Amino acid sequence: KAGVTQTPRYLIKTRGQQVTLSCSPISGHRSVSWYQQTPGQGLQFLFEYFSETQRNKGNFPGRFSGRQFSNSRSEMNVSTLELGDSALYLCASSSDRDLGNTEAFFGQGTRLTVV
Amino acid sequence: AQTVTQSQPEMSVQEAETVTLSCTYDTSENNYYLFWYKQPPSRQMILVIRQEAYKQQNATENRFSVNFQKAAKSFSLKISDSQLGDTAMYFCAFNGMRFGAGTRLTVKP
C-alpha cells in the first residue's frame, strides 16, 4: 500500500508569490491534515479535511488555505508569501472520521523556502 | 485551547540505557487521546505509542512505554534499552492536532 505522497519535495519561492502544495493520502483514507514545521515552533496544525469539508482549522492567517477533492487528495495554498513561511509542510492522512483518536500517517513533507 | 509542552529541546542517552521524555498538556476535556510520534532524520513521522485518556493502564509497545498521569496532565515517554535507531525528534501530540515543540533525542554508542 502506497504511503502519503507529497509533491513537490522542495520548493523555492520569492516573497509575494503564491504556492500550492499537494498531498495524496493513503488509499481509502478520507481525512487529511496539514502541519507547518519550523525549528523554533515545532509542529503547528494548519487544517484538517474530511470528505471535502474543512473540519478544523489552526491559528493561521487567511493567506493559508486548503481544499480536498472527491478522491481525498488535498492541496494547500499560501498566497503573498512571507519569509516566515519558510518551513517544512507536512501532510498526514487518517482512516477514521475522528482524527483525534486515530493514528495519522505522515508524508515526507514539502520543504518551502521563501527568498 | 489545548496546549502541549515538551520542556526538553534536546536529550542524549547512551546505547542500552533508559531515557524518559516529558510532555505536559492543558485541556478541559475529559476524554481525549495522546500520542508520541517519532521523526527520524529522514523526516518521515511515525507513530510510537498512543494512550486513551479514559484508560488507567499505561500503554506499552515493546521498549516504549508511557507514564500517563491524568490529574497532573502529564504524558511522558520511556524508552528502555535505547538503540542507535531511536535517534530522532520525538513529538507529543494531543488528539492528533496539537503537537509539542519536540525533543531531539540522540542515542550515543
Best of A101, A102, A112 to disrupt the B interface (most B CBs within 10 Å) is: A101
Dihedrals phi, psi of B69, to nearest 5 degrees: -115, 95
pLDDT for position A97: 62
Residue A88 CB contacts under 8 Å (≥ 6 apart), including other chains: A36, A37, A38, A109, A110, A111, A112, B43
pLDDT for position B56: 84
pLDDT for position A98: 64
Section A78-95 average pLDDT:
94
**Reduced to 3 states, what is the DSSP secondary structure of residue A63?**
coil
Chain B nearest CA to A53, separation (Å): 16
pLDDT for position A24: 97
Q: Which of B35, B44, B97 sits opposite A45 (nearest CB)?
A: B97
pLDDT digit string (tens) for B51-70?
999 888 999 999 999 999 99
Is A101 in Cβ contact with B33 (below 8 Å)? yes
Closest CA to A96 of A33, A46, A31: A31
pLDDT digit string (tens) for A24-83?
999 999 999 999 998 767 789 999 999 899 988 999 999 999 999 999 999 999 999 999
Burial of A103 (0-12, 13-18, 19+ CB in 10 A): middle
Section B86-106 average pLDDT:
91
Section A81-106 average pLDDT:
86
Section B26-47 average pLDDT:
90
**What does chain A come to in residues?**
115
pLDDT for position A75: 98
